[in-house]
Amino acid sequence: MTYSKQFLAKHKVKNPESLPEEGYVYIIKSGNRFKIGKTKRHPTKRKKDLTLAEAGELIYFQKYKNYHFIEKEIHLLLQDKRVITSEWFEDIDEADLEKIKEWKEKDKIFD
């Protein structure tokens, strides 16, 4: 797994390969906003825990070995579309979603 220098510096990670932990990164769409989050549980179960304001359509999820780092890397990739300091983003388009899906090939466990 290769992480950006910006990410490694920001999180003071010296050896990200030494910290793998399996979990999911998911995207829920609600109106024109997208929640990009992470969970150890299957995202369909996590979605049931969300508040009504967060409820929406689960449009993507993938299981990763380093799900904490993948989620943070995706947040950095889309930082200019972030809604303040939350896990919510606006104006994500198909090109952004394709970039996110590319992480699947970098750190996936299975399809």
- The reported pLDDT for the residue numbered 65 is 78
pLDDT of amino acid 110: 41
- pLDDT tens digits, one per residue of 63-109: 887 788 889 889 999 999 999 878 899 989 999 998 888 776 665 54
Contact 32, 73 (CB under 8 A): no
Question: Model pTM greater than 0.85?
Answer: no
CB-CB contact of 34 with 103 (8 Å): no
